[in-house]
Amino acid sequence: GTEAPAVKSSAVVEITGKEFDKVVDGSKHVLVQFYAAWCGHCKALAGEYEALAASYSYSKMSDTLIARVDADLYRSVGSSYKVAGYPTIIYFPKGDKEQWQVYTGERMAHKMVSFVNSMTGHNAIYIRPRQATIILDDQNFAQVVHETKKHVLVQFYAPWCAHCKDLAPDYELVASAFRMEPTVVVAKYDADWNKQYGQQYGVTAYPTLKLFTADNKGGLLYEGSRDPDSILAFLNTKVGTERSMDGSLKAQSAVLATMGAHVQEFLKEDKGGEFSQSALQAATNAANSLHGSFAENGKVYIKVMQKVQELGLSYLQDEKDRLDRLLESKLSDEKTNALTRKRFIIMDFLTRAKTTKQQ
């Protein structure tokens, strides 16, 4: 199949109990996965089902929807279609949703694409999704993990391990969340096939997760829950990032309390559009003492202060409006990242300017 570009959000449509009859109303072909959040087989299916949805999204078949519903949470929906186990996949045809049919084939993306094509008469192309998780082996482990200033989370796994299979889709979600984070790599290493580094780091059970930070390549053992939110929170805490599960930045990823105090002083000294040079210098000194991504954000703070000094407070709202327009257009991940960070910092200035004015 063709390889698809990595996507920021899921192509699978999540349906609630209330929405079900509005979505599955006969106006479109709809394939629905009835799942339960706790179901291991559902988790194992997630990646393949996402690839199916991505294939139909990529092929632009607008009258065909790939969806899922939590039938454990919305039990009346599942019982309406005699769902007795999870996952159950049902096809609802366009024109007459009552002629629904349970999918009993293999739960592989290319097989499900063929099934939906045969039901709808479409010819969607199977898209092989690009993995966000980096694959390590004995040849590239040192280059990726040791010989870099990046933070690298490594899952030591074995292909036959059931717990590893259960973790796979959730781990890929975490990798996708950090795909736009230049300082973080999420990787996995088959420690059953490759022998060197599993032994070197004392791996005796699968899966084992270790974080190799930029300043500690000895490896920090992850001992938390194996759900994606817990792993994501662990990474954010340990390496100073602020990624959400969908890969977007949280506001605090760019807003720095230490710089905020200097912004406050800078804005307080406004004498009819003349801002304090000493406050700007103090902020510059503080920014120069920052490291890593904090240092990059510190530089943005200083540039914004210089612009305010040059153009006045009206620059802040004008720049926010400009950034909003840019972020609505199609940009590279790197550009989106940079502009989003700057927008958060501009918002910090605007909030503090309003507070200062009220004092």
Does the active-site annotation cover 170? no
Q: Which of 11, 42, 54, 203 is flagged as catalytic?
A: 42
Q: Which of 6, 39, 313, 347 is catalytic?
A: 39
Annotation says 39 is catalytic: yes
Residue 192 annotated in active site = no
Which is catalytic among the residues 119, 161, 261, 302? Answer: 161
Query: Which residue of the set 7, 15, 164, 209 is catalytic?
Result: 164
SS (H, E, C) the chain: CEECCCCCCCCCEEECCCCHHHHCCCCCEEEEEEECCCCHHHHHHHHHHHHHHHHHHHCCCCCEEEEEEECCCCHHHHHHCCCCCCCEEEEECCCCHHHCEECCCCCCHHHHHHHHHHHHCCCCCCEECCCCCEEECCCCHHHHHHCCCCEEEEEEECCCCHHHHHHHHHHHHHHHHCCCCCCEEEEEEECCCCCHHHHHCCCCCCCEEEEEECCEEEEEECCCCCCHHHHHHHHHHHHCCCECCCCCECHHHCCCHHHHHHHHHHHHCCECCECCHHHHHHHHHHHHCCCHHHHHHHHHHHHHHHHHHHHCCHHHHHHHHHHHHHHCCCCCHHHHHHHHHHHHHHHHHHHHHHHHHHC
- Whether 194 sits among the annotated catalytic residues: the reply is no
- Cite the active site residues: 39, 42, 161, 164
